[in-house]
A = this chain, B = another copy of it.
Amino acid sequence: MTTHLTPLFAPEGVVVIGASRQSGKLGAAMARSLAPFPGARALVNARRPEPDEGVYASVAEAAAHTDGRLDLAVLCVPAAGCAQALAEAAAAGCRAALVCAGGFGEAGPEGEEHAEELRRVARETGVRLLGPNTSGFFAPHLGLTASFVPAAGQLPAGDIAVVAASGGVNHALSFDLVAAGNGISLGVGIGAGLDVDAADVLEHLAEDGRTTAVALHLETVPDGPRLVAAVRRVAAVKPVVALVVGRSDVGDFARSHTGALATSWRTTRAALRQAGAVVVDDERELVDALTALSRVQLRPDPDPGLGIVTAQAGPGLLLADRAGTDGIRMPELAATTQGALSELLPPLTYQRNPVDTGRPGETFARVLATTAADPAVDLLAVYALTEPDSVDLASAAQDAGLGADSPAVVVVGGLPEDVAEQRARLHKAGIPALTGPASAANAVRALVTHARQRALRGDGPAPEQAVAPVPPGPLDEDAAKTFLAGLGIRTPDRVACDSRADAHYALRLLGGPVAVKVLDAAILHKTEVGGVHLGVRTPEELDAALDAIGPGRRCLVEAMAPAGGDLVLGVRRDPVFGPVVLAGLGGTAAEALADVAIRLAPLSAADAASMPDDLAARALLDGWRGGPVLDRAEFGRVVASLAAALAASPDTAEIEINPLRLTADGLIALDAVIVHTAPPAEENDHA
């Protein structure tokens, strides 16, 4: 395959511009790292050329001596000289370049000028530029180490690619992946991302046959929709596991590092998840997830079942406990499976799932195969300490047929050298080997998440919902609710009243109790100005409420909704990702905990229906204390309609339903606010 990044990541030839002889210098380190590259190779040192040793005075001269095969230029010159060097490299035929140094965007006005020049040369010449401010990249298959970290050259080739915002993290993740028994297909640190960014590299990886799974590390997102499209493209063909920085407020340091504002952590994670990435919490979880996903995957399934076979009950219990906490289903094994197991195992062990083998013996492989074959088991997790005189775990796992066709993760406990030996054999057989219960639980969670997300994506993209746009506003509560009702969202019976007489008529019409609320699009927080009166039953109470609201004000008289749990649902425009939906539970505790589910809009009703299950306090929606159960399908339809409405209404900044009440009869919007971006009334006047 060839992509527009092939000259960068798979060049025919490489030239180091600014190759130094001083061993501490960047140019010298780069020249050393690139020395083993088997393709064309040249160094440029304007001050000390030695053409006999492949050190030339200029890139043009270097190109002439290498039949023009130098398509990648590695620039080891100061920031001020980079643009000029890039122009010369482009003129000499280079089509890609790497700039490692700092001193650009993060370094004040002068640095920004250098960055601007460099960006201009790249744009004008069409050279694809990685960096600046990165330690580079490596492609072990090609013997290509364009990094100044010496050990990078010893990373074994394999099938996991790393795309990291930071050069240091690219190296750290690659070393971690290798320590866990994996190899690397390509490792890239984006750095400042003046030209090539994470989305570009992801698009390249979608085409890269060597890569079976991708690690993605993000600090900032310059272009949300482009990143989402790129992740979606890769995730459609191979797993993407993503780690996003910025859960806590590390803004200051992060800005110093990247020269850019941090994106909202929650929204970025939600967007990546929706695009098909498996999102993890730290780099260990990332390594565990990739160790598993690069070797085995489950079929798309909304709720895969986990079987556990353990040779030692205690560690198996740790694993089962973690899997249970993560919401992984561990089905009881079928009677036939239990029957077959009872013939293979001593009578006293637990055999329903987890399957506790006791000290494993010669039947171990058959126990694994039997459990994996249970119809309710979609994934098998195996734990055993290495005990060479009782069982050879790697052989047993292979004998049981575990691997791509029978997805499993295997934990081998024991001394590091024993574990490494078993792991190498398991990996060779395509069976992921993990390092302990927590590590296996991470792998299980990643495999299950991947299967669940693909089941969801199976519903396809959001259907084009033909909805009327939000009318020009400002819209008061009555108008907002009328619009919602047009979307098929239930609202209470109500009468908008211009006078006291109207209000009394409304009370008679609706019967008591009613809610009486001030009706004025300019008032966003009605309660705070005494504009909301609930449980009004009698004409006297109504008069009192109207007096409190103030003479001459319009009001809304509305049937009271039955009691129930409250949700908050909103659609708005995220500055990075565009339209998003947010759903949470009502009440201050949910708010204080930021217990909120986020999706990019538009989205399908099926995708939206899964939002409540993201909420930590979701138990409140599932018949809490005998209360109603949220109909996920109804919720999904409400969300999808709201999201479609925002998409259809370019002048609308935000639509919020708060509260959206969960009643025994379904969802009902008790209050609604629609905010416009511009004063559309005025625009309308001009139309």
Give me the interface of A with B, judged by CB distance under 8 Å. 23-24, 29, 102-103, 106-107, 135, 148-151, 154-155, 164-172, 175-176, 178-179, 189, 217, 219, 243, 245-250, 252-254, 256-257, 282-285, 310-318, 320-325, 348-350, 352, 354, 356, 358-359, 361, 385-390, 413-416, 418-419, 435-439, 441, 565, 585, 587-590, 592-593, 595, 616-620, 624-625
Inter-chain CA distance A252–B415, complex, in Å, is 31
Residues of B with C-beta under 8 A to A252: 350, 352
Are B250 and A312 in contact, CB atoms less than 8 angstroms apart?
no
Given contacts A356-B256, A436-B283, A595-B589, contact A321 B386 (CB under 8 A): no
Interface pair B151/A415, CB less than 8 Å apart: yes
B321 touches A248 (CB 8 A): yes
| A170 to B, closest residue via Cβ | B314
User: How near does chain B come to A673, taking the closest CB pair, in angstroms?
Assistant: 18
Residues of B within 8 A of A170 (CB): 314
Instruction: Please list 27 pairs of residues, one from A and one from B, whose beta carbons are closer than 8 Å in the complex, sorted by A's number.
Output: A150-B388, A150-B389, A151-B415, A154-B415, A166-B313, A175-B414, A176-B435, A179-B416, A179-B435, A247-B324, A247-B325, A248-B323, A250-B324, A253-B313, A253-B317, A253-B350, A253-B352, A253-B356, A257-B313, A257-B314, A257-B317, A257-B356, A283-B318, A585-B589, A588-B617, A589-B590, A592-B617
Partner pick for A390 among B24, B249, B413, B595, CB 8 A cutoff:
B24
Shortest distance between the CB of A409 and any CB in chain B (Å): 16
Residue of B nearest to A320 (CB): B250
Closest to A248 in B: B324
Q: Which residues of B contact A361 (CB under 8 A)?
A: 24
Q: Which of A285, A348, A595 has the most CB of B within 10 A?
A: A348
Whether the pair A620, B589 counts as a contact (CB closer than 8 A) is yes
A169, A317, A413, A624 — most chain B CB neighbours (10 Å):
A317
Given the known interface contacts A313-B166, A314-B165, the answer about A284 and B358 at a Cβ–Cβ threshold of 8 Å is: no
How many copies of this chain does the complex contain? Answer: 2
Chain B residues with Cβ below 8 Å from A324 are 247-250
Residues of B within 8 A of A283 (CB): 318, 436-438
Report the minimum CB–CB distance from A303 to chain B (whole Å): 16
Not counting A282-B322, A284-B284, A589-B590, a sample of 17 additional A-B residue pairs whose C-beta atoms are within 8 angstroms of each other reads: A102-B348, A151-B385, A168-B310, A171-B413, A172-B437, A175-B414, A176-B413, A250-B317, A250-B320, A252-B350, A252-B352, A253-B356, A254-B317, A282-B318, A588-B617, A589-B589, A593-B593
- Once bound together, how far apart are the Cα atoms of A565 and B617, in whole Å? 19
- Decide: A168 near B592, CB < 8 A? Known: A284-B436, A318-B283, A324-B248: no
Contacts of A436 in B (CB 8 A): 172, 176, 283-284
The 7 A-B pairs with the shortest beta carbon distances in the complex, nearest first, are A166-B314, A168-B312, A248-B324, A169-B314, A282-B438, A589-B589, A256-B350
Q: How far is the CB of A28 from chain B (nearest CB, A)?
A: 9
**Residues of B contacting A168 in the complex (Cβ-Cβ under 8 angstroms):** 310-316, 385, 413
A435 to chain B, nearest CB (A): 8
Chain B residues within an 8 Å CB radius of A165: 314
Best-surrounded residue of A171, A175, A252 (most CB of chain B within 10 A):
A175
Q: Which residues of B contact A317 (CB under 8 A)?
A: 166, 219, 245, 250, 253-254, 257
Shortest Cβ gap from A155 to chain B (Å): 8
CB pair B620–A588 under 8 Å, yes or no, is yes
Chain B: CB-nearest residue to A353: B253
Instruction: Tell me the smallest distance from the CB of A169 to a CB of chain B, in Å.
Output: 4
Give complex CA distance A148, B387 in Å. 9
With a CB–CB cut-off of 8 A, which chain B residues contact A171? 312, 385, 413
Q: How far is the CA of A424 from the CA of B247 in the complex (A)?
A: 33
Please give the distance in Å from A290's CB to the nearest CB on chain B.
Answer: 14
With A and B bound together, what is the CA distance between A617 and B358 in angstroms?
Answer: 43
- CB neighbours (8 Å) of A250 from chain B are 317, 320-321, 324
Measured CA separation A348–B133 after assembly (Å): 12
Contact A175 B415 (CB under 8 A): yes
CA distance A624 to B243 in the complex (A): 31
Q: Taking the nearest CB of chain B, how far is it from the CB of A419, in angstroms?
A: 8
Closest approach, in angstroms, between the C-beta of A35 and any C-beta of chain B? 14
Q: Which residues of B contact A387 (CB under 8 A)?
A: 149-151
Q: Do B166 and A315 touch across chains, with their CB atoms under 8 A apart?
A: yes
- B residues within 8 A CB of A176? 413, 435-436
**Chain B residues closer than 8 Å to A106, beta-carbon distance:** 348
Query: Of B179, B352, B385, B595, which is within 8 A of A149 by CB?
Result: B385
- B437 A282 Cβ-Cβ under 8 A: yes
Residues of B within 8 A of A103 (CB): 348
